[in-house]
């Protein structure tokens, strides 16, 4: 049914997206918490820098990543020397590009839900003897879980669709960095491969649709549990 | 519990210095926005005073000079808020167990006792949104108690409830203090709740302590008068249940010095200590005692006029009945006809039927 080529592209895309989200989620929660709950001077600056990937052309992000993470780049050199890691032109590099472009979307969604949490419930929890940490993971975190979910879904969608930064940073290497959008791009460039492009297009639609439906059901469940007040 | 704090609020400075008793219910009474909630917030640790000291017998929670400021969760002070603030994502059972340490209650007796005391056993499996306002507040009280606090703060726990729910909850609150021997600071602006629950009153206005004494003393103090509704001036008397009438649904309350006050039947055992409220409008004055078969009034006491307050509408007499104080409202016409003067002895008549179940409380 699916060709080996398609399976490769799909599994690579999913692998990149899941890796990107797993690494960026904890940082996104922390950043969202900082922005929603803390007052500090550099807050407007952090907010602006955070939104850069949303407004910059993806190719600029890709270029900046390429410059800093290539074996000659500052971070790339340091990574290579300290951990013997080289992520340029690898699927990890694609995950990094995905994580960066999807980060602002994730933070925005989580931040909004942080701001919506009733601080009075957290106050009540602390009068019941709960430390700040216990309050966070027993009250705050469950209450923001719908926000986390929608942040993850947004990031997942953005990651699956990521093209510009990825192709600039890690190029379009079969079996290594050729995710679904890159594979489609290759087919479109190839004369006579319109059918394959169409098939990939349908696959992309199905993945996106099922992710949205799954998140809708999950979110409904969560909200039903939380709206019991 | 010693409280000596200063805290700058938006409109005024909260400045209270009080030694609160370590048992019983102390009502923190005052208008809305007088700083009552701010005061107990500093005790709970939710808010930090600018300077001063808060300490109980064993612990010092706050001392600006020594730099002590114990975190909220380490103070062991329970807090019941105006709204129940139940955690919406937990069941009633999980809410109750949030601050509850099973190891301190291995056989679960305390847990059961609280369930029974507040009558919430049947609610355990439900979620907060499936409860009525009164049930939510009962669960919130149970949750605070199961934390085993050394002091319980209550911030107008009945204010968000309608009248039937209030009536439903009041007896539970009265039981709490008696059964658990837990000192309670109770913020309220309801005189009925003060009468029903409190042992002492801390009267606060614009952040300042005006009075702090037992209920009867504060109630009859001149500074308290602006808070007592002008049309419904009342006195509070200490009494004990002396006897129940054999034939009629009446109860005799012994005021001090063997004055017997007959009121509608009060279902309490003999000798129970009771606090009873008598409105000024229910007290009338005569110069001579009518024979009992010629008057419907059963309660006639010889009193001395201590004070005559006149305004355009009516005249208010302050009457001394042994150690107690009574207030009587009469018309200026009656004042002139009876030619009343201070230190004169008059008979005060109190209608027994005017005292109903909201005018007395167990103490």
- B163 and B247 assigned to the same domain: no
Q: Span A82-111, mean pLDDT?
A: 88
Considering only the beta carbons, identify the residue of A120, A125, A225 that sits closest to B98. A125
Q: By CB neighbour count within 10 A (0-12 exposed, 13-18 middle, 19+ buried), where does B45 fall?
A: buried
- B183 and B74 assigned to the same domain: yes
User: B76 vs A129: CB contact, 8 Å cut-off?
Assistant: yes
How far apart (Å, rounded) are the C-alpha atoms in residues B67 and B359?
Answer: 47
Say how many Å lie between the first and final Cα of chain B, rounded: 22
Per-residue pLDDT of chain B (363 residues; tens, 9 = 90+): 889 999 998 888 999 998 888 888 899 998 888 889 999 999 999 999 999 999 888 888 999 888 889 899 999 999 999 989 999 999 999 999 999 988 888 888 889 988 988 889 999 999 998 898 888 999 999 999 999 898 999 999 888 777 777 777 788 888 887 788 888 999 998 888 888 888 899 999 888 888 888 888 888 888 887 777 666 788 888 888 888 888 888 888 888 767 888 888 888 888 888 888 888 888 888 888 877 777 888 888 889 998 888 877 788 888 988 888 888 888 888 888 888 888 999 999 988 778 877 788 777
How close is the nearest chain B Cα to the Cα of A221, in Å?
A: 12
Q: Residue B134 — φ and ψ, nearest 5°?
A: -65, -40
User: B129 vs A131: CB contact, 8 Å cut-off?
Assistant: no
The residue of chain A nearest to residue B101, with distances taken between CA atoms, is: A129
Considering only the beta carbons, identify the residue of B77, B79, B88 that sits closest to A226. B88
- B42 and B159 assigned to the same domain: yes
Q: What is the ipTM of this complex?
A: 0.78
Domain range for B285 is 234-362
CATH number at residue B281: 2.40.50.100
The residue of chain A nearest to residue B96, with distances taken between CA atoms, is: A128
Q: Where does a domain end: B228, B252, B273?
A: B228
The fold for domain A4-35+42-226 equals MetI-like fold (1.10.3720)
Considering only the beta carbons, identify the residue of A132, A139, A227 that sits closest to B87. A139
- B243 and B177 assigned to the same domain: no
Counting residues of chain A whose pLDDT is more than 90, the rounded percentage is 37
Q: What is the pLDDT of residue B252?
A: 87
- The residues that bridge with B202 in the sheet, in sequence order, are B28, B212
- B322 and B201 assigned to the same domain: no
Residue from B70, B72, B135 whose CB has the most chain A CBs within 10 Å, to mutate: B72
Q: What is the pLDDT of residue A228?
A: 52
- B34 and B80 assigned to the same domain: yes
Considering only the beta carbons, identify the residue of A128, A138, A225 that sits closest to B143. A128
Q: What is the pLDDT of residue B272?
A: 83
Considering only the beta carbons, identify the residue of A123, A128, A139 that sits closest to B99. A128
Confidence band for A227, pLDDT divided at 50, 70 and 90: low
Q: Is B253 on the interface with A (CB under 8 A)?
A: no
- Taking alpha carbons only, the member of A140, A39, A128 closest to residue B45 is A128
Q: What is the pLDDT of residue A229?
A: 43
Q: Where does a domain end: B228, B259, B276?
A: B228
Q: Span A57-79, mean pLDDT?
A: 87
* Tokens standing for residue B150: 């050394």
pLDDT digits (tens, 9 = 90+) for B90-112: 999 999 999 998 888 888 888 99
Confidence band for A20, pLDDT divided at 50, 70 and 90: very high
- What residues of chain B lie within 8 A of the CB of A125, using their CB? 87, 98
Q: Is A127 on the interface with B (CB under 8 A)?
A: yes
The residue of chain B nearest to residue A142, with distances taken between CA atoms, is: B89
- B193 and B66 assigned to the same domain: yes
- B214 and B245 assigned to the same domain: no
Using an 8 Å Cβ cutoff, are B197 and B186 in contact?
yes
- Taking alpha carbons only, the member of B11, B15, B13 closest to residue B3 is B15
User: A228 vs B129: CB contact, 8 Å cut-off?
Assistant: yes
Domain count, chain B: 2
CATH number at residue B92: 3.40.50.300
């Amino acid at each position: 049914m699916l060709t080996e080529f398609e399976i490769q592209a799909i599994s690579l895309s999913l692998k990149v997206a899941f890796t990107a989200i797993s690494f960026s989620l904890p940082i996104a929660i922390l950043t969202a918490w900082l922005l929603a709950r803390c007052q500090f001077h550099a807050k407007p600056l952090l907010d602006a820098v955070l939104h850069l990937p949303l407004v910059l052309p993806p190719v600029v992000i890709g270029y900046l990543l390429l410059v800093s993470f290539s074996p000659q780049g500052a971070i790339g050199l340091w990574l290579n020397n300290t951990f013997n890691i080289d992520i340029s032109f690898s699927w990890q590099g694609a995950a990094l590009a995905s994580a960066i472009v999807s980060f602002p979307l994730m933070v925005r969604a989580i931040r909004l839900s942080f701001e919506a949490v009733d601080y009075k419930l957290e106050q009540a929890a602390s009068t019941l003897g709960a430390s700040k940490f216990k309050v966070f993971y027993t009250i705050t975190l469950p209450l923001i879980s719908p926000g986390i979910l929608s942040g993850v879904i947004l990031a997942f969608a953005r990651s699956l669709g990521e093209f510009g930064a990825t192709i600039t940073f890690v190029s379009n290497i079969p079996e290594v960095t050729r995710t679904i959008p890159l594979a489609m791009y290759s087919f479109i460039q190839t004369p006579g491969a319109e059918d394959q492009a169409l098939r990939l297009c349908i696959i992309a639609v199905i993945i996106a649709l099922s992710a949205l439906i799954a998140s809708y059901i999950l979110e409904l469940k969560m909200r039903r549990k939380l709206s019991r007040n | 519990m010693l409280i000596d704090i200063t805290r700058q609020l938006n409109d005024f400075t909260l400045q209270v210095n009080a030694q609160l008793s370590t048992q019983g219910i102390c009502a923190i009474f005052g208008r809305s926005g007088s700083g009552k909630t701010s005061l107990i917030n500093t005790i709970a640790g939710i808010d930090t005073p600018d300077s001063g000291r808060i300490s109980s017998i064993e612990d010092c929670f706050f001392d600006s000079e020594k730099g002590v400021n114990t975190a909220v969760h380490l103070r062991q002070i329970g807090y019941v808020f105006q709204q129940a603030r139940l955690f919406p994502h937990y069941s009633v059972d999980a809410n109750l167990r949030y601050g509850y340490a099973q190891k301190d209650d291995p056989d679960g007796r305390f847990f059961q006792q609280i369930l029974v005391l507040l009558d919430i056993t049947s609610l355990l499996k439900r979620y907060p949104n499936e409860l009525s306002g009164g049930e939510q507040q009962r669960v919130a009280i149970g949750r605070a108690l199961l934390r085993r606090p050394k002091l319980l703060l209550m911030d107008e726990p009945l204010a968000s409830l309608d009248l039937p729910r209030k009536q439903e909850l009041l007896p539970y609150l009265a039981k709490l203090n008696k059964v658990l021997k837990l000192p309670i600071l109770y913020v309220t602006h309801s005189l009925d709740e003060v009468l029903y629950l409190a042992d002492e009153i801390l009267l606060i206005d614009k952040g300042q302590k005006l009075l702090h004494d037992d209920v009867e003393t504060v109630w009859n103090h001149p500074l308290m008068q602006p808070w007592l509704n002008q049309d419904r001036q009342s006195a509070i008397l200490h009494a004990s249940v002396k006897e129940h009438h054999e034939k009629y649904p009446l109860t005799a309350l012994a005021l001090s010095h063997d004055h017997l006050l007959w009121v509608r039947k009060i279902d309490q055992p003999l000798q129970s200590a009771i606090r009873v409220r008598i409105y000024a409008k229910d007290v009338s004055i005569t110069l001579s005692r009518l024979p009992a078969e010629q008057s419907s009034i059963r309660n006639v006491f010889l009193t001395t006029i201590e004070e005559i307050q006149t305004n355009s509408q009516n005249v208010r007499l302050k009457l001394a009945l042994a150690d107690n104080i009574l207030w009587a409202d009469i018309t200026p016409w009656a004042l002139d006809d009876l030619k009343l003067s201070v230190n004169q002895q008059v008979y005060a008549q109190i209608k027994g039927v005017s005292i109903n179940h909201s005018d007395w409380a167990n103490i």
